[in-house]
Amino acid sequence: MMPSSFPVVRLKPKANARAVRHGFPWVYDNEIVTDRRSRALSPGTLAVLEDSERTPMGVVATNPNSRIFCRMIDRDPTAQIDQAWFTAKLARALEMRARLYDQPFYRLIHAEADGLPGVVIDRFGDVAVVQPNAAWADVLLEPLVAALVEVTGVSTVLKNSAGRARSLEGLEDDSGVVVGTAPSAPVSVVMNGATYLADLTGGQKTGLYFDQRMNQRFAASLCKEAKVLDVFSHVGGFSLASLAAGATSALAVDGSAAALSLAEQGAEQGGVSDRFATRKGDAFDVLTALAEEGETFDVVICDPPAFAPSKPALEKGLRAYERIARLAAPLVREGGYLGLCSCSHAADLARFRGASTRGIGRAGRHAQLIHTGYAGPDHPLMPQLAESGYLKALFYRL
Quick one: CATH architecture of 187-397? Answer: 3-Layer(aba) Sandwich (3.40)
Rounded Cα distance, 59 and 43, in Å: 15
Give the angle 229-232-235 at the CA atoms, nearest 5°.
Answer: 90
User: pTM to 2 decimals?
Assistant: 0.94
Task: Identify the pLDDT of residue 1.
Answer: 43
pLDDT number for residue 271: 97
Closest CA to 299 of 254, 340, 356, 268: 340
What is the spatial distance between Cα 372 and Cα 395, in angstroms, rounded to a whole number?
6
- Asked if 341 is an active-site residue, the reply is no
Residue 375 region, left (φ>0) first, then alpha (ψ -120 to 50), else beta? Answer: beta
pLDDT of residue 221: 98
The number of beta carbons lying within 10 Å of the beta carbon of residue 129 is: 27
> Which mean pLDDT values do the consecutive 10-residue runs of the chain (398 residues) have?
76 93 95 91 96 96 94 96 98 98 97 96 97 94 98 97 77 89 95 96 84 98 98 97 98 96 97 98 98 98 93 94 98 98 94 98 98 97 87 98
Domain extents for the chain? 8-74, 83-179, 187-397
Name the catalytic one among 70, 223, 341, 343: 343
Give backbone dihedrals phi and psi of 176, rounded to 5 degrees, phi first.
170, -175
CATH number of 83-179: 3.30.750.80
CA 272 to CA 192: how far, in whole Å?
14
Partners of 198 in beta bridges = 187
Q: Where are the beta strands (DSSP E) in 259-391?
A: 276-280, 297-302, 332-342, 368-373
CATH 2.30.130.10 for the 8-74 domain, yes or no? yes
